[in-house]
Chain A
Amino acid sequence: MIQVKNLTKYYHTLCAVDQINFDIKKGEILGLLGPNGAGKTTTLRMLTGYLQPSSGSIFVKGLSVDAHILEIKKILGYLPESAPLYHDMLVFDYLNYVAAIRQINGDQKIGRIRQLADLCGINEVMHQPIGELSKGYKQRVGLAHAMMNDPEVLVLDEPTSGLDPNQIVEIRKIIKEIGKEKTIILSTHILSEAEATCDRIAIINQGKIVADDSTESLKRSAGGKHIMYLSLQDADFSAVQNALEGINGIEGVTRISETPNTLDISLTYQPTDDLRPDVYRKIKETDWILLDFHQETRSLENIFRELTRES
């Protein structure tokens, strides 16, 4: 559906997007994940034809953004970051205007606006000026704007920023719902959001794609070592170290902190076996008191931090 090849964007001498490549298949939800200033918004802006790339090419449905931008705009819906809408227009007037520009005419128009108002939950603000709406409602009006032409490709830049937790869940539900038939590309810096809504995640850092895979295999590939945290009372570090290092599979015991009462340690081990029963049995043999015992599963968060850490 969308092919991006060697896309590069310079702002004067600053390289915002550096030779990125990715493909999006029809019906896929792709999440662009990255820290602030990584180049997510710039990439989306080039995809929607708002910015001209410095070099590289983008094809949507086989049409080049350079040559066929008008045709592409017709099948594309775009919600820019923080939904910059006309403040002095009423919500209804605004949607009416968008429908006119999208060439939806007559009876169809009112029907479409009603449908979107229901979907996005903006019925109660239809006759208020956009400037007086809360951020969440503005975002929903923006979403209704983006979906006006029933687009084949929906581009959303941080769609849930500024929404309250209930609204976030609702918007995600809407995205999932639309994503069944449409191709969606969304940017976010919220990991749980990407995890919850996207089929595929591309992590961008400093203008480069550093990871691009399905959400599942990204999590699997996280790999590496697992870590277990323990907090013990009435225990001595060297004794603990001796006892636990004896367990087959434990690769290291590290002291995190030690106060007269409690000792916090971490254990590293290969993720192949579950060593928790062994560790527990070992502790039961002694008279240490176990205060805390948990295992850190390496989630997307770790991968993200590892890939996007300042080098």
Chain B
Amino acid sequence: MRQVVHIFRKEFSTYFVSPIAYIVIAIFLLVTGWFFFSTFFIFNQANLRTFYTLLPIVFAFVIPAITMRLISEEINVGSDEILLTMPVTFRDVILGKFLASVALVVAMMIPTVAYPLTVSFMGQLDWGPVIGGYVGAAFLGAAFSAVGLFASALTRNQIIAFIIGLAICFTLTLIDKMLYFLPQSLLGVFSYLGADFHFQNIAKGIIDSRDILYFVSVCFVGLYAAYLTLLQRH
């Protein structure tokens, strides 16, 4: 477990040594800030609904950009040979990198606390859904990070890793909105697969074990797939 911490620390600080973290955070804040406040005064309601409606789709773009380099860069440079011949296991490597990505997502969300604070000055803000939304965002960020990490393990090319990660996250986000293509019998199953559906449940301020279970399962499946991919490579 100690090795996970060392790898986490190294990966997390690498984000801030290179310009990646700053660029990703800046773009994220710009996009969410603009879309949220540009319609905020039209709706004239003191809540964060538009912000949370938007969040899954923005995450689907931003998180694969965070995770794309985690494993593919190692494979490309060849540094995986150095990492994996030190006394660490695949599990340590994957968990460490996963946690670094989740930590960056959390770091990215921290400045957005300014949104509810601003809103609370203007009207009566219900803090329940706001806190639910942040909890949901953490789960959603973790699930997409696991998916992105898997995409990164698939290829040595970061761009391809990004596109694969984006494709999966995007599908997970929108799958319950494409349901009218599907026969009635499959509706239930597919709406359960939608990340947006579960996130919006939590963002209403209702923390349901089914939604938590969904995100935990996505994390597990993503990380286990990444593990198998690495194992296969060796």
Contact = CB atoms under 8 A, between A and B. Distances in A.
Interface of A: 45, 48-52, 70, 73-74, 76, 78, 80, 82, 84-89, 93, 97-98, 100-103, 142, 145
A85 B82 contact: yes
Contact of B77 (A84, A97, A100): A84
Contacts of B77: 84-87
Given A52-B234, A78-B81, A85-B77, 20 more contacts: A48-B85, A50-B81, A50-B85, A51-B234, A70-B87, A76-B85, A80-B85, A85-B79, A86-B14, A86-B79, A87-B77, A89-B17, A93-B13, A97-B6, A97-B9, A97-B10, A98-B86, A100-B6, A100-B9, A101-B88
B87 A73 contact: yes
Q: Is the interface of B mostly helix, strand, loop or mixed?
A: helix
A48 B82 CA distance: 10
A82 B77 CA distance: 10
Contacts, number: 63
A102 B87 contact: yes
B123 interface: no
Nearest to B19: A88
A100 B79 CA distance: 17
B17 A80 contact: no
25 contacts: A48-B85, A49-B84, A50-B81, A50-B84, A50-B85, A70-B89, A73-B87, A73-B88, A76-B85, A78-B81, A78-B85, A80-B82, A84-B78, A84-B79, A85-B82, A89-B14, A93-B13, A100-B6, A101-B6, A101-B7, A101-B88, A102-B86, A102-B87, A103-B87, A142-B82
Contact of B87 (A52, A74, A84): A74
A146 B234 CA distance: 21
Interface string B50-91: 000000000000000000000000000111011011111100
